[in-house]
Structure 1
């Protein structure tokens, strides 16, 4: 891994064989989001989307937490924890390439909304997830209340939204919010294993598949077919598609070119 951001920065960004690893790095504040953190995350998402050598990203937290949400002390000082990509530099405009959240300890308030901006979630057993904003006179306004009822049953989404209570990672896994459970301290390792499985696939096909799945959530069946035809059919006429077919016929691993 090659660090591209200093270890004492609000976010540490590293690379590992086509995977961009983004580590929220404000442990004294439980990785709460301020303006500086949001700016670095936003730049990292731009890097992920624009660098063809990168296939997928993983976002995690330093120390024993994923993220406690907005830094309320910074908020009271008019520090804006958002960029054009939204809160934390990600929630309104996530990257076009896949992103995995690796959660240790807790992902609450805006921290859960960051995780919900990702495509897959790996969480350590016992980790807490929730949107406790009503307990502080706030509303979870970084996409959590929009995305939760699309990911989990209505009654559970409403329970989280209006009680402000937490659920643990085990319960989140049961209802499909978390993709993989792991032992404490292993979330990043497990997320990287999952990321490598995705990175082994054809990059154009992965990117198009993500866009279709995400877009289909807000479309009727006719709109879904139109989206699929527009984004999926061009993949049939790529070098990667021909390489995939050739590799299968020749019983070898494909060599993707991203074109």
Structure 2
């Protein structure tokens, strides 16, 4: 049996923005430190914006900078440093799916830069840990929190699962279509479906539920273009559909804080 290990680590500082590949990452109560702590919302109603509606967001780079804020960049645009909002920043009411919360607004300069890039009036917001959302208690414990990710702090995918899907589609697929935080190699295809609890290095994680997939997986992370054949969603529906949802990857809940590094062993505990 091959030894399983952590093959890749990703962070997405801005929800639906470009991925940041990491060699190591610190975990806090909300998952990978800095992951999906920033989000774009409609200026008028505070509703969250993603690549589902705006595929061009795949070309938007929003990377952590040394001061704790974000550096925004995009093709054909000058970059912009956005400071981390302070305690006195204006709070804005926002919605992520069914959750409503009030979070700091990142100011007019960021809003103007981003509105010009995406072509609609928007605001940039940031969530401090104290204002994070409760994870659905049908799958988590009271006190388990999530930042601006759709529902859970972490997403894990087995490399063999992607290889299986690529073989069925007939072309190699990019892992980043599925926006995982953790990629595991050395397991069988879809072995992660049966895991309940795992350990990576010294940190333990609960496997909460499978991740249901949407049209976002059909967007090429390099170009921002949707695939004309609606792949890989079309193929996933043929063998990964259950109760009207298509599943690929597993949502995790961290059970402790500490450091993860690529190459760490992965052990299934239950």
TM-score (norm 2): 0.27
| Greater fraction strand | 2
| Greater fraction helix | 1
TM-score (norm 1): 0.28
Q: Which fold has the larger relative contact order, with Cα–Cα distance below 8 Å and residues 6 or more apart in sequence?
A: 2
